[in-house]
Amino acid sequence: KKRKDKTMPLESATAAILAHIAAEAGPELYDMAVTESREMYREMQPDLPEIVVYSVEDTTIEGPAGPIPVRIYRPSAAPAPVHVHFHGGGWVIGDLDTHDRDCREICLGADCIVVAVDYRLAPEHIFPAAPEDCYAALCWATANKGLLGGLPGPVSVGGDSAGGNLAAAVALMARDRNGPAIAMQLLIYPVIDATMESESYRDNADGYLLSRTMMAWFWDLYCPDVDLRADPLASPITAEDLSALPPALVMTAEFDPLRDEGEAYAQRLKAAGVEVEVRRFDGLVHGFFSQAGIIEAAREGVDLAVKALGKAHNRAS
């Protein structure tokens, strides 16, 4: 199938990575048992020098269905703002280790305490287990700011892909449940719409790391009841009212099936009077945020995110 002309070619390092993956021709994550795909996803993470932060602590917090593991990153001994972060991986794969580097980048770059949340995964725990765990983590981080060494003022939330979906869901939950104030929502190429019918889903269905088939697999495992996918906590774009939500930074990638739904959500937030910055990263694919150590163009995305978080925390304090 011939692809439409794109506004910009693939970024060169990204193109090389995709060519390498295509040449390997191994099994797809969705063709394996879930336990195997989780292991494969761990192995796929780039082997890069560690980003050293002041301290890292693994602990558990009380969740709606038992303890939730969290990892707490501190940039220094001094009090700092708090950011609650949800990892990507289609609600099925991904964990504290696969997104450890992202959290270290945010911790140092935004000079904030990061609470990374190991929410329950599908298919063992289907929707709405993940958003409920993430909301519990927001409430815990807010209530325990002092214990964490956090500064006064609201915490921020964020995540990539499925984690971006959960950050958007948590922002809706906090508003509708009279929950904690949120300084900002950092939505990195978020999953926003379960319908998978956008132009970017057609143009970028295959060959750009995240495929349409893989997203369908994730949705089937995470929310097997198709009707439930229209719930705003699964597909935030279905929320009738998007007013009174925290400021948002929405980052998308040109060659990503999720590009259009992220940008559509940003426009809906803007129309509802929410302060939004939206940035498309041309030439890049889904997952670029984690590649900032090897792809220079991706570094710009990390820089934008940490600057926005720093600004939001300063303003909210």
Q: Is there a catalytic annotation at residue 241?
A: no
Cis bond before residue 257 (omega within 30° of 0): no
Indicate if 12 belongs to the active site. no
Q: Which of 37, 161, 235, 290 is catalytic?
A: 161
Measuring CA to CA, which residue among 175, 204, 180 is closest to residue 262? 204
Q: Tell me the CA distances in angstroms from 299 to 45, 220, 291, 303, 304, one per residue in order.
A: 17, 33, 8, 6, 9
Give the active site residue among 99, 286, 290, 313: 286
Between CA 284 and CA 6 the distance in angstroms is 12
Please state, as a whole number, how many other Cβ atoms lie within 10 Å of the Cβ of residue 87. Answer: 27
Taking the C-alpha atoms of residue 187 and residue 136, their distance in angstroms, rounded to an integer, is: 19
Asked if 161 is an active-site residue, the reply is: yes
**Residue 282 to residue 7: CA distance in whole angstroms:** 8
Annotated catalytic residue within 231, 256, 260, 313? 256
Q: Are the CB atoms for 248 and 272 separated by under 8 Å?
A: no
Q: Which residues are identified as catalytic?
A: 161, 256, 286
